[in-house]
Amino acid sequence: MRPQKALDKEVISGLTKVFSSKGYEGASLQDLATAASLKKASLYHRFPNGKKEMADAVLAHLQAWVQENVFDILNDTHTKPEVRLKTAIENIGVLYDGGNRTCIFRALSMEAGMELFGQQIEDGMKVWIAVFEKIGLELKLSPKQAKEYALQTLIDIQGSLILARGLGNTGIFEKTLMNISNRYLK
């Protein structure tokens, strides 16, 4: 075997950028290979099932990052909930590169993507909602309020990312993250 040219992490990182910015159909194998610093055939060696498997790997990688840096933080009952919330929201800022990166759910939820990833997107969103609902309860919100705040948190993140991109103004996203925090902690 020839030596491994690109590290797995670099490959996934490149694929993530392409899928996030171009969507599933918009991402060509040529784009993906270039971003991964590999030739197309080498990508197929690592992902024998092709493009779908590459996107699955990206989703899994992001899911693991979010689990570690958002969900586990929010669920860490050894820390005060106010601190957990602040840290988690900071990490959400990192996840979306301060408003410069599109959410993968959005990128993969155009029609063709919905058929392939619809279930994963739905399940993923439900976990986000459940985790924010839980921290809301720990912050002494009523069950109804906790549910509403959790939904509004996701709406704010997704909506502000779209506006930030459309207006070319990442400040909208950063401001929205602050609003989310203030809503819980006021």
Partner DNA sequence: GTCTATAGCTAGATAGAC
Partner DNA sequence: GTCTATCTAGCTATAGAC
Q: Which residues are at the interface with a second copy (CB under 8 A)?
A: 21-23, 25-26, 102, 105-107, 109-112, 114, 118, 121-122, 125-126, 151, 154-160, 162-163, 165-168, 172, 176
One-letter identity of residue 92: I
Angstrom CA distances, 22 to 37, 106, 143, 149, 157, stand at 18, 11, 38, 31, 20
What is the smallest separation between the CB atom of 156 and a second copy, expressed in angstroms?
6
Q: Is 39 in the site for DNA (CB under 7 A)?
A: yes
- Specify the 3-state DSSP secondary structure of 49: coil
Nearest C-alpha neighbor of 45 from the set 9, 18, 8: 8
Binder of DNA out of 19, 20, 51, 170 (CB under 7 A)? 51
Residue 28 in the binding site for DNA (CB under 7 A): yes
CB-nearer residue toward DNA: 27 or 66: 27
Query: Which among 34-42, 60-68, 73-81, 119-127 is the span making contact with DNA, rule CB under 7 A?
Result: 34-42
C-alpha 134: how far from its chain's center? 19
Distance from C-alpha of 141 to C-alpha of 134, rounded to nearest angstrom: 10
Q: How far is the CB of 121 from a second copy (least distance, A)?
A: 5
Q: Which of 13, 44, 93, 152 binds DNA (CB under 7 A)?
A: 44
135: enclosing H helix or E strand: helix 111-138
Asked if 5 interacts with DNA (CB under 7 A), we say yes
